[in-house]
Chain A
Amino acid sequence: MKSSTQRLEAALRRAADASRITEPVTPASVVMETDNAALHRFAPEGASGGPPLLIIYSLVNRPAILDLSLERSVIRRLLAGGLDVHLLAWHPPGQARRFLGLSDYVLGDLADATAWLDRHYGEAPHVLGVCQGGVLALCQAALADPDAGGFGARPRSLTTLAAPVNTGSKDDQLAQLARSVDFEALIRATGNVTGQGLAGVLASLKPFALGPRRYGDLAGLAEADDAAVEAFMRMERWMYDGPDLAGQAFAEFARGIYQKNALIRGTLELDGHPVDLARVTCPVFSAHALDDHLVPPPAAAGLGRHVGGPCEELALPGGHLGLFVSGRAHETLYPALINWLRTIP
C-alpha cells in the first residue's frame, strides 16, 4: 500500500510525462491562410468529406478544448456526423499586431475563410462559433448580406456555443466587473493583453474550484489510465496556455460587447458598417450551459428574438467547459446539432 505522498509523487511523474505529449488528438492540415489565422481541415483516415463546416473559435484560449481526447472530441463528433470540419485557428498577435481590431478579424479573416470555402466546395459552409467566436461569427453572418457590405459568404447555417451576445444581465459577472474599467487606458499600458493575465482573471472567478478542489485529488491520477492523465494535462495546458490578445480587439470587444451591450442594442459597427442581427437570415442553432459562470444563460439565451432567421435553442445542465467535454454534451448536444444540420437545405 503506497503512502499518500508516494501516490502524489507517482501522479506528478505521470502528469509530467503526459504534459510532454503535444500532438493533436485528431490530425489536421492547413488548407489556406488568412491574414491572422490558418484554416485547418480535419481529415482523419476514412473521412468522407460531407458538407463543409467552419469552426470559429474564440480569440481567448486555444481550440484544443474541442479535441481534448478521443472520447470527448467535438471535432471527431462532427466528423462522425458526416461533416467536413474546418477550423480557423488564430495566430497569436505579436506586439506588431497590437492594433488589430475586431473589424480586421471579422471583415478580413472570417470573410476570407467563408468566401474561400464557398468557392472551394461550391457551397456555403455551415459555421459554428464557439464562445467569443460565436459573436464574431454572428457579426460576419450579418455583414455577409450584400446590402450590409457583402463581407464573405453567407453561411448555410450558423451555430453558436455559449456565445456572450447579451451582457445586460446583472448576473453577468464578467460584464459587471468590466463595467467601470477603462480598457483604452489598460491597453495603452499593456499593448497586447497577455493570455496568462487573462487566464488569471478568469480563474479568479472560481479560485476554489480551480485551485484546491482541482489539485486536491491529484494523487488520484496515480491510478488513472493514461488517457485520463493525458486529458487532465491537456485541460491544464488549455486553461493556462492561452495566447495573448491584440490590445485593440480586446478593448473593442470589452467596450462594445461587455460595456455597451452593442450587439443586442444594434449599435455595434465594424469599419463603419452597422452590425444588424436581423440580417442573419440563415437557420441558427444556439446552445448554452445552465450553470455557466463565464457566459451565464441570459447572455446566450434568446438569440432567436434578434436574428432574422429561424433559431433553435438548446440549454444543457453544467458549466462552460461541460458544453465541450461533458458526457452529457456528447450524448445529447452534438447528436442534436448534427441531426439539425442534416435538416438544413
Chain B
Amino acid sequence: MASDNATSDNNANWNDWLSGLQLAADPLGVWRLLERGTQALDTAQTPAQAAQQLAAAIDQERAQQDQAIGQLDEWLKHWAKGLRSLAPLLPDHDTDNLPPLGPFPRRQTLLQDLSRQQAAYQTALQAHLASFTTLAEDCTAAFREALARDAGEPLESLPVMAPKTLMAHWSAVAEPRYEAWLADTDTQARIADLVNAWSELTATLRALTDDGLEALGLPSARGLDDLAEELQRQRRRHRQDMAELRRELAALKARMDRESP
C-alpha cells in the first residue's frame, strides 16, 4: 500500500500513485487482514484481549483501505498533471461534463473515461470492502461467543490462553464463514465488479500514458504490443504453413507407398 505521507504535492511519487492500483499481490485484501489478525492473536494474553485486538485490527485495516481510496483521486490528479506537463497536448482541465470538442477528441474521451472509471472503481472497491468488513466483524462476534460458550464463562473472566489455541479457535470460527462468504453469488458478483472496474481504469491509464510517451517520441506499451502482436501473427502463420507442408508430405509419402510395387 502507499505510504501514509503520500498526500501532499511535495512528497507524492510515482510508486505511491501506482501502488494504489496494484491488485496483483493481494487482489482481495485477504492476506493483509489475515496478517493483521494473526499479529493480533499472537500478542494477546487473554481471550478478551484477543477479541478486542482482532476488532481493532479489522478497524485499522479498513481505515487504511479507506485512506487509500481517498488518496486515489489525488494520485490520479497528480498523475494527469504530470502527463500534461510532459505532453502539453492533453487538455489542461477536467472534461467530465463537456462533449469532446476541438482537435483532440480521443484524448478528451479518455480523460472523461478516466473520471467515470475512477468513480466506478472506487464504488466497486467500497462495496467489496464493506462486505469484507461485515464478514470480519461477524467472525469476531462469533469468536467471542464461541470462546465464552466453550468455557461456560463470560469472555472477560477467561484466563490467559496460548496464541496457538486462540488461533485454532479463530480459524474454526472464521474459516467456514469466509468460505461461505466467498461462495455467495453476491460476493462473487462484487469481486467481478471490482476486477472489471480495475481493468477498465488501468487500461485507460495505460492509454493516456502511451499518448504522453508517444508525444515525446518515446516507445509506448501500445507500440510494443503492436510489435508483439505482429510477431505472434508471423509465428502463427509460420506454424500453419509448416503444418500444411507436413500434411502434404505425409500425403505424398502415403501415395508413393501405395504406388510402389
Residues of B within 8 A of A107 (CB): 239, 243
Also in contact, A205 and B31, with CB within 8 A (given A111-B243, A200-B25): no
Contact with B along A97-111 (1 / 0, CB 8 A): 111110110011001
Give the dominant DSSP class at B's interface.
Answer: helix
Which among B170, B228, B233, B239 is the interface contact of A35 at CB below 8 angstroms? Answer: B239
Which among A180, A188, A200, A205 is the interface contact of B24 at CB below 8 angstroms? Answer: A200
Residues of B within 8 A of A71 (CB): none
Bound CA–CA A182/B193 (angstroms): 9
Which among B24, B34, B170, B202 is the interface contact of A194 at CB below 8 angstroms? Answer: B24
Smallest Cβ distance from B95 to chain A, in angstroms? 22
Residue contact A176 to B30, C-beta cutoff 8 Å: no
Q: Does B225 contact A (CB under 8 A)?
A: yes
Q: Does A181 contact B (CB under 8 A)?
A: yes
Residues of A within 8 A of B193 (CB): 180
Contacting residues of chain A (164-220) with chain B, CB-CB under 8 angstroms: 173, 176-177, 179-182, 185-186, 188-191, 194, 196-197, 200-201, 203-205, 207-209, 211-213, 216
Also in contact, A203 and B31, with CB within 8 A (given A176-B185, A188-B203): yes
Residue contact B232 to A197, C-beta cutoff 8 Å: no
Q: Does B86 contact A (CB under 8 A)?
A: no
Smallest Cβ distance from A174 to chain B, in angstroms? 11
Closest to A198 in B: B24
Residues of B within 8 A of A182 (CB): 195-196, 199
Q: Does A96 contact B (CB under 8 A)?
A: yes
Smallest Cβ distance from B104 to chain A, in angstroms? 22
Bound CA–CA A216/B165 (angstroms): 11
Residues of B within 8 A of A173 (CB): 182-183
Q: Does B75 contact A (CB under 8 A)?
A: no
Q: Does B227 contact A (CB under 8 A)?
A: yes
Residue contact A180 to B34, C-beta cutoff 8 Å: no
Residue contact A204 to B27, C-beta cutoff 8 Å: yes
Bound CA–CA A186/B202 (angstroms): 9
Bound CA–CA A177/B181 (angstroms): 12
Also in contact, A179 and B164, with CB within 8 A (given A98-B225, A200-B26): no
Give the dominant DSSP class at A's interface.
Answer: helix
Smallest Cβ distance from A37 to chain B, in angstroms? 14
Residue contact A207 to B183, C-beta cutoff 8 Å: no
Q: Does A232 contact B (CB under 8 A)?
A: no
Residue contact B25 to A108, C-beta cutoff 8 Å: no
The stretch among B46-54, B77-85, B171-179 that forms the contact with chain A is B171-179
Residue contact A181 to B26, C-beta cutoff 8 Å: no
Q: Does B157 contact A (CB under 8 A)?
A: no
Bound CA–CA A96/B223 (angstroms): 11
Bound CA–CA A19/B201 (angstroms): 38
Q: Does A258 contact B (CB under 8 A)?
A: no
Residues of B within 8 A of A23 (CB): none
Q: Does A95 contact B (CB under 8 A)?
A: yes
Also in contact, A212 and B232, with CB within 8 A (given A95-B224, A186-B199, A200-B25): no
Bound CA–CA A216/B192 (angstroms): 32
Closest to B25 in A: A200
Bound CA–CA A328/B113 (angstroms): 55
Residues of A within 8 A of B246 (CB): 115
Residues of A within 8 A of B174 (CB): 208
Residue contact B30 to A207, C-beta cutoff 8 Å: yes
Also in contact, A108 and B27, with CB within 8 A (given A98-B228, A185-B200, A216-B164): no
Which among B167, B206, B240 is the interface contact of A212 at CB below 8 angstroms? Answer: B167
Contacting residues of chain B (227-248) with chain A, CB-CB under 8 angstroms: 227-229, 231-233, 235-236, 239-240, 243, 246-247
Q: Does B28 contact A (CB under 8 A)?
A: yes
B residues sitting closer than 8 Å to A (CB atoms) are: 23-28, 30-31, 34, 38, 164, 167, 170-171, 174-175, 178, 182-183, 185, 188-189, 191-193, 195-196, 198-203, 206, 221, 224-225, 227-229, 231-233, 235-236, 239-240, 243, 246-247, 250
10 A-B pairs closest in CB distance: A180-B192, A197-B24, A189-B202, A99-B232, A185-B199, A208-B175, A189-B199, A189-B203, A186-B199, A204-B30
If A99-B229, A149-B243, A212-B34 are given as contacts, then 15 extra A-B residue pairs at C-beta distance below 8 Å, sorted by A number, are: A35-B235, A96-B228, A99-B233, A115-B246, A179-B192, A180-B188, A186-B199, A188-B199, A194-B24, A196-B25, A197-B23, A200-B31, A208-B171, A208-B175, A211-B31
What are 8 A-to-B residue pairs whose CB atoms are below 8 Å? A95-B228, A173-B183, A182-B195, A182-B196, A189-B203, A207-B30, A211-B38, A216-B164
